[in-house]
Amino acid sequence: MSLLSVEQARERILSKLDPVDTETIPLTACVNRVLGVDIVAADDLPLFDNSSMDGFAIQAADTSNAAPVSRVTLRVVADIPAGSTPRISIAPGQAARIMTGAQMPEGADSVIPVEDTDFNNRSPGTPAPKTVSIEKIVKHGDNVRQRGMDVHAGDAVLKKGNILKPQDVGLLAMLGFPEVEVYKRPLIALLSSGDELLEAGAPLESGKIRDSNSYMLASLVESTGAEVLRLGIAKDTRESVQGLIEQAVLLNADMILSSAGVSVGAFDYVKDVVEANGSLNFWRVNMRPGKPVAFGEYKSIPFIGLPGNPVSAFVGFEVFVRDSIGRLRGISDGSRSKVRVRSEEEILSDGRESYLRAIIREEDGQFVATLTGHQGSGNLLSLVQANALLIIPAGVKCVPAGQEIDAWLL
């Protein structure tokens, strides 16, 4: 039986996942959350015609003959600070002093900046002059920000499924949304498995190692914007594995993520426990590292079992879990962008789709990649030192030096 390709496995997982429910939360808490509705503007932006400069609101036509030798002098009939409502209409021959962001008065169609007048004075508290002289032609609309030039009421400005960026939050505030409907943060239950594992702070014992995966995977889950439910370390027994996973059911997790215990070892019970309490959709993918990855359902909660070796667990997370959590979070377009890099050295592969740790640097406008240290899947430092994963496609056994390949930046 031939193994599933990475793409087939990803498809199988994604096709089984639906976004979680939405909730309405304050605007102050929504950055990085995923929009649960399309946002339609109820107002024009800018809300009203306003000045983009400190200056004088005038009728441009008054300046049609203005020049250094024939200055035009206008009577200043109003003073309009930001935030006020202009009460006077500007007639020919008149001007109103106006501040940046202040509403344009009726009658005026343009603004001449103070620095282009004989009244170049912006010290706080300076009263408006009685008259202002201009020696420059001003065009209709100069230095006026027209109502609706950015957004028209009725425009769809943000789409359901967008991750809210800080600038989106600013726009929502501009449009008067004190709260916003977003997808809930999915709860990802995380367990490690293995009799050899100790908590990071525990004293070392012979034959034991520290559980690094749960810390690394929890950090990865958090980096996606989901919430982590730490279930701890399961012993290599059916009872222990099932006992921990049941906690995820009890606490309504949206996904169960485990590491280790899904290979062919005599004590690898994770897969069995899932099968006995749900179903296994697939096990093992044609990739390296990370071949023994499992996907299924435990009592209808999606389950992804990552390999135990830390680098394999990391790669498995990036290849399968990140976008899966994205789907749960409601992200509409989750696909991660690749960059093209030139390999500095010849890379041999075994024909599986391979994810290799590398350092990428820019050289003559091109990315050049060098593999890091020992590529064995237990060597975490080689991942720590890397800033990219090179992706060697399935079927390729040799990438000659100088050839371009895809990479993910880390």
Give the Å distances, CA to CA, from 231 to 73, 191, 207, 311, 343. 78, 5, 23, 21, 41
Find the binding residues for Mg ion in span 13-52 (CB under 5 A): none
SS (H, E, C) 207-240: CCEECCHHHHHHHHHHHCCCEEEEEEEECCCHHH
* Residue 309 touches which member of ligand AMP, Mg ion, none, C-beta under 5-8 Å by kind: ligand AMP
Q: Exposure pattern of 336-352 as b/e (b: 16+ CB <10 Å)?
A: eeeeebebbeebebeeb
* Residue 116 touches which member of ligand AMP, Mg ion, none, C-beta under 5-8 Å by kind: none
Rounded to a whole number of angstroms, the minimum distance from the CB of residue 331 to ligand AMP is 28
Binding of Mg ion by 260 (CB under 5 A): yes
Q: Which residues bind ligand AMP (CB under 6 A)?
A: 192, 194, 196-197, 209, 211-214, 259-261, 263, 265, 268, 307-310
Binding of Mg ion by 310 (CB under 5 A): no
How big is the site for Mg ion, counted in residues (CB under 5 A)?
2
Binding of Mg ion by 307 (CB under 5 A): no
Give the residue with the Cβ less far from ligand AMP, 51 or 192. 192
Q: How far is CA 383 from the centre of its chain?
A: 23
Rounded to a whole number of angstroms, the minimum distance from the CB of residue 341 to ligand AMP is 29
Rounded to a whole number of angstroms, the minimum distance from the CB of residue 246 to ligand AMP is 20
Closest residue to Mg ion, based on beta-carbon distance:
194
Rounded to a whole number of angstroms, the minimum distance from the CB of residue 242 to Mg ion is 16
Rounded to a whole number of angstroms, the minimum distance from the CB of residue 8 to ligand AMP is 22
Please name which of 375, 318, 311 lies closest in space to residue 345, comparing C-alpha atoms.
Answer: 375
Rounded to a whole number of angstroms, the minimum distance from the CB of residue 320 to ligand AMP is 16
Matching residue, tokens 């999915």: 186
At 323 the three-state DSSP class reads: helix
Rounded to a whole number of angstroms, the minimum distance from the CB of residue 301 to ligand AMP is 21
Strand partners, 389: 357, 408
73 contact partners, CB below 8 Å, separation of at least 6: 131, 132, 133, 134
Strands (E), 251-403: 255-259, 278-283, 287-288, 294-298, 301-306, 339-343, 347-348, 353-363, 366-371, 388-392, 398-399
- Piece of the chain touching Mg ion by CB under 5 A; list 144-152, 240-248, 252-260, 320-328: 252-260
Find the binding residues for Mg ion in span 168-227 (CB under 5 A): 194
- Piece of the chain touching Mg ion by CB under 5 A; list 15-23, 254-262, 321-329, 376-384: 254-262
Closest residue to ligand AMP, based on beta-carbon distance:
308
Give the residue with the Cβ less far from ligand AMP, 192 or 372. 192
Amino acid letter, 311: V
Please name which of 210, 208, 211 lies closest in space to residue 192, comparing C-alpha atoms.
Answer: 211
Could you give the CA distance from residue 388 to residue 408 in angstroms, rounded to a whole number?
5
Give the residue with the Cβ less far from ligand AMP, 163 or 313. 313
Rounded to a whole number of angstroms, the minimum distance from the CB of residue 237 to ligand AMP is 13
Residue 3: exposure state from Cβ atoms within 10 A (0-12, 13-18, ≥19): middle
* Residue 318 touches which member of ligand AMP, Mg ion, none, C-beta under 5-8 Å by kind: none
